[in-house]
Chains A and B, each alone.
Chain A
Amino acid sequence: AQSVTQLGSHVSVSEGALVLLRCNYSSSVPPYLFWYVQYPNQGLQLLLKYTSAATLVKGINGFEAEFKKSETSFHLTKPSAHMSDAAEYFCAVSPASGGSYIPTFGRGTSLIVHP
């Protein structure tokens, strides 16, 4: 069984400020973890993923996330927010073994960037 909890349905930051989007997961087997981004009126696209290599994962557009097994967390950060980062962000978990390719998504966090 697997689940994802994203803390905060909305996060508001000023342009240039640190972005921190929180994700905690539970999984009965070692997980793969993902962050997807959804811009208005578009589908989801992969931002970054963790697949048991380096625990600090770098993605597109300056985002990165750190896998912390002890905290069962995979928080997404960006040092300096840009207006173009305004979007919906989804954390997802998928089992790393067993042949299941069915990820479980969190409920999403809407990032609002103020000028």
Chain B
Amino acid sequence: NAGVTQTPKFQVLKTGQSMTLQCAQDMNHNSMYWYRQDPGMGLRLIYYSASEGTTDKGEVPNGYNVSRLNKREFSLRLESAAPSQTSVYFCASIDRAKNIQYFGAGTRLSVL
């Protein structure tokens, strides 16, 4: 079982460059999430999608955009990367019946 798959695993960008982080889940979950993880800060929610066709801002949405392409896929886009966006990014989906989140392995992004 693949679960939640994120690509790429690593990325280095220069300030001002753009990129899209991809996420796909094969568990037929309705809700999906994007988090960033920084040392000492835990996980902070960037955006989430309660269901296909809907997206909402989380705690730290500035500088990011998202697209819920279909039920499986939820992408995160950085239009103009900044050094403050250097972080580890995690995608997750949730089994609502069990209230359990499933996480991808993460994307480690460095912005120089």
Residues of A in contact with B (beta carbons under 8 Å apart): 9, 32, 34, 36, 41-46, 49, 51, 90, 94, 101-103, 105-108
Contacts and interface: CB of A to CB of B under 8 A. Distances in A.
A108 B106 CA distance: 17
Interface residues of B, number: 22
B90 A44 contact: yes
A51 B43 CA distance: 22
B47 to A, nearest CB: 11
B7 to A, nearest CB: 14
Interface SS majority for chain B: strand
Given A44-B92, A44-B101, A108-B40, 10 more contacts: A9-B40, A32-B99, A44-B90, A46-B101, A49-B100, A94-B99, A101-B50, A101-B96, A102-B45, A107-B40
B99 A102 contact: no
Q: Which 4 A-B pairs have the closest CB atoms?
A: A43-B103, A107-B42, A105-B43, A44-B103
A49 B101 CA distance: 11
Contacts of B31: 101
Contacts of A102: 33, 45, 48, 58
Q: Residue among B33, B43, B45, B106 with the most chain A CB within 10 A?
A: B43
A49 B42 contact: no
Interface in B56-77: 58
A45 B50 CA distance: 21
Contacts of B2: none
A101 B105 CA distance: 21
Contacts of B4: 43
30 contacts: A9-B40, A32-B99, A41-B105, A41-B106, A42-B105, A43-B4, A43-B92, A43-B103, A43-B104, A43-B105, A44-B43, A44-B90, A44-B92, A46-B101, A49-B99, A49-B100, A51-B99, A90-B42, A90-B43, A94-B99, A101-B50, A101-B94, A101-B99, A102-B33, A102-B45, A102-B48, A105-B42, A105-B43, A107-B41, A107-B42
